Structure 1
Amino acid sequence: MIHSLVSWAVNRPIAVFMLTLALGIFGLRAWQQLETALLPDLEYPEYFIVTRFPGGSPEEMEQLVSKPLEEVLASLPGIQDIISSSREGVSLIEVQFDWGIDFRFTLLRIREKIDAILTRLPDGVERPFIMDFNPNSIPIMELAIHSPEMSLVTLAELARQVFKPRFSQLDGIASAQLTGAPEPVVQIRIQPEKIRQYQLNPLEVAQNIRRNIPADPVNARVRVGYSEFPLNVDLRLNGLSDFLRMPIETERQALRLGDIAKIVSEPL
């Protein structure tokens, strides 16, 4: 077989040359049409489960949220590793599977496991959010901003109001995110002498504050004659003066928060 093939090639040099030339042309054409990408579109067998619990300490997030979720997820088939991290108010669990898994079936099993444990999680825990690993969402460039003259708060506000919007408007930019910038936080410092003077319970004061801080705008409808119109009222607090005027109602007397506390705004 090999001897006859060699004899045919030796006796027909022009045909062999034309065949080789045709293969070279088709190969070059295929190479020119070959698509390239910095990060190929691959499905990685990794999932992230993000769970939020507003007000939960890192220890509470680990014991009450991360560990129960890890226990139920560990029974899934094809798992290579489970990595979890817990910080204030947030639990992040990374689940790594073997290559070759059925992605749709695996995602369905993860949801089933999470649904089965929701009743065991503390009250106030938000429903866990499942994300798959996508390399295209990894930032391709990170920039650091520094100024020897501006304060960190001023620099963060400049980055938030100027740099981030301008970067987001550039062609080819999917999104621009700002990290590491200090967020302004309102600190309510209750004065102990005022608590004793007005005979207040600190827990009672804290409950009043929570009750008077609306989390979301209020949606309502206004009826005028036979017509009805939607009304959206934003009751969120807009400044320190709103905190100072916040009512503190007790069984004995009615006060304002400014009567018993000092309120300052500082970066966190």
Structure 2
Amino acid sequence: MIKFLLRRPIAVLMAFTACFIIGLVTYSTLPVSLLPDIAIPEITVQVSAANTSARELENTIVKPLRSQLIQVSTLKDIHSESRDGAGIIRLSFEFGTNTDLAFIEVNEKIDAAMNYLPKETERPKVIKASATDIPVFYLNLTLKNDSAYSTTTGQHSFLDLCEFAESVIKRRIEQLEEVAMVDVTGLVERQVQIVPDEDRLAMMGLAIGDIESALSSNNVEPGSMTVRDGYYEYNIKFSTLLRTA
């Protein structure tokens, strides 16, 4: 082989020159990315239902969705969380799974499950995880009279700020064409804290358990029901939870 190459120096030089030129052209056209588009084998389903308790949301929406999504192929694990007004379902797949096909299959399962959900239910959002989902920028909202070395005067101002960020700022940013998703963290909701006076309870012959039973009996959650009248079907929803003071 060596003798064959030594007898043909021009052919060897031309082959070397051709490989060198091809290498230069390939090196200049190679794509370079600081954050390559790597498909993460995870899909998130977001469920939103305003004025719905966590228990009712779990029974009427999340469970039917789980029974459909658990049939998705190459599914490794499924995890769901429910809270008042919103729920989330995370689906993890085996490594090497084509997330584009899994994304289509998840949407098909959700479309099939919509027939078993209440009619007023909004279609859940399906989000495909990717390395490019890292937030582009963070937007911090603070009060004018708030600082690191002073206490915020009044809690109502902070509650109003949280409501403004959720209902106004988030929705307006989501309307931009270049924005895919907006996530708001650090929000607080209005709560009522009951601190019983033990001395007065003792004078009245009451105990902490009596207060707990009174709250439980008045915080009934009847849920919803479907009534059919001939060709018509009505979805009746009862709301008797303690939501205001």
TM-score, with length taken from structure 1: 0.49
* 1:180 aligned residue: 185
| Shift, 1:52, TM fit | 1.1
| Shift, 1:128, TM fit | 1.8
* 2:79 aligned residue: 83
* 1:136 aligned residue: 132
Cα shift readout 1:160-205 (whole Å, capped 9, x = no counterpart): 7xxx9xxx9xxxx968957335478699xxxxxxxxxxxxxxxxxx
Separation (CA, whole Å) in 1 of partners of 2:112 and 2:180: 35
| Shift, 1:82, TM fit | 1.5
Could you tell me which of 32, 40, 44 is aligned with 2:28? 32
Q: Which amino acid aligns with 1:180?
A: T
- The 3-state SS of whatever aligns with 1:126 is coil
Separation (CA, whole Å) in 1 of partners of 2:12 and 2:48: 69
* 1:224 aligned residue: none
Pairing of 1:94-243 with structure 2 (within 5 A):
94-98=90-94, 99-101=96-98, 103-104=100-101, 106-122=102-118, 124-140=120-136, 142=138, 147-148=147-148, 149=150, 151=152, 153=157, 179-180=184-185, 182=187
- Identity level (%): 27
| Shift, 1:144, TM fit | 6.4
| Shift, 1:14, TM fit | 4.7
Seen in structure 2, the aligned counterparts of structure 1 residues 97 and 178 have a Cα distance that, compared at 3 Å, is: closer
| Shift, 1:29, TM fit | 2.5
Seen in structure 2, the aligned counterparts of structure 1 residues 129 and 30 have a Cα distance that, compared at 3 Å, is: same
Which is higher, the Rg of structure 1 or of structure 2?
A: 1
Q: Which amino acid aligns with 1:73?
A: L
TM-score, with length taken from structure 2: 0.53
Q: Answer 1 or 2: which has greater strand percent.
A: 1
Seen in structure 2, the aligned counterparts of structure 1 residues 97 and 121 have a Cα distance that, compared at 3 Å, is: same
Separation (CA, whole Å) in 1 of partners of 2:63 and 2:183: 30
Could you tell me which of 57, 70, 76 is aligned with 1:74? 70
* 1:196 aligned residue: none
Separation (CA, whole Å) in 1 of partners of 2:72 and 2:180: 34
Separation (CA, whole Å) in 1 of partners of 2:6 and 2:76: 56
Cα shift readout 1:81-137 (whole Å, capped 9, x = no counterpart): 222222221111122334344835x44443342233334334643222223223323
Q: Which runs of 5+ in 1 are unaligned?
A: 188-262
Contact 1:82/1:96 (8 A) holds in 2: yes
Question: How many residues end up aligned between the 2 structures?
Answer: 173
* 2:237 aligned residue: none
- The 3-state SS of whatever aligns with 2:111 is helix
Seen in structure 2, the aligned counterparts of structure 1 residues 79 and 123 have a Cα distance that, compared at 3 Å, is: same
Q: Which runs of 5+ in 2 are unaligned?
A: 193-243
